[in-house]
Amino acid sequence: MSVEKQFSVFLVNKPGILAQVCTALADRKINIRALTLVDSQEHGVLRLVVEDGKKTADVLRAINIPVDETEVLCVEMPNQPGAMADICTRLGTKHININYAYCTTGTRGGRTLGVFKVADIEKARKVLAQHKPASNAKKQTVRRSASR
């Protein structure tokens, strides 16, 4: 788990603009760890977590695209059903609001990266550092009928 810089890049809704940003990052060998893109009629908002924040800020300034930076909580979690629910439940039971979240898909059975914009990042870190699954996550028991 780590606190990372997230870039919110405001893109005009025109063909090739996303490619321009991704190409500029690729040309500087900047790896994108997670991203999401949300659109409206006027523009799209590309949210990125990258491996090199300083180089990314330089690249985005150089191509003259509006950008905001904010801190987000990045949580490595198993790529399995219930992993996101567990983290959201743990934060919710401690009254930590999640403004938005997104995650990578990872490989099946592997790990994924969840990105959380939360109201209180330090409190969220403490809650998630306890490594306890959510208390209301119930295990299901399977009954087998005896075959005769």
Same domain, 106 and 47: no
- Whether the CB-CB separation of 49 and 74 falls below 8 Å is answered with yes
Global pTM reads: 0.80
Give 91-148 as a DSSP string: HHHTT--EEEEEE----TTSEEEEEEEES-HHHHHHHHHT----TT-PPPP---PPP-
Q: What is the largest CA-CA distance in the chain?
A: 74
- Residue 77, domain member (yes or no): yes
Angle between helix 17-27 and helix 53-62 axes, rounded to 10 deg: 130
Instruction: Enumerate residue ranges in the chain where pLDDT < 70.
Output: 131-148
Range of the domain at 85: 72-129
Per-residue pLDDT reduced to its tens digit, 63-94: 999 999 999 999 999 988 999 999 999 999 99
Same domain, 62 and 15: yes
CB neighbours of 79 closer than 8 A, spacing ≥ 6?
105, 106, 107, 108, 109, 110, 111, 112
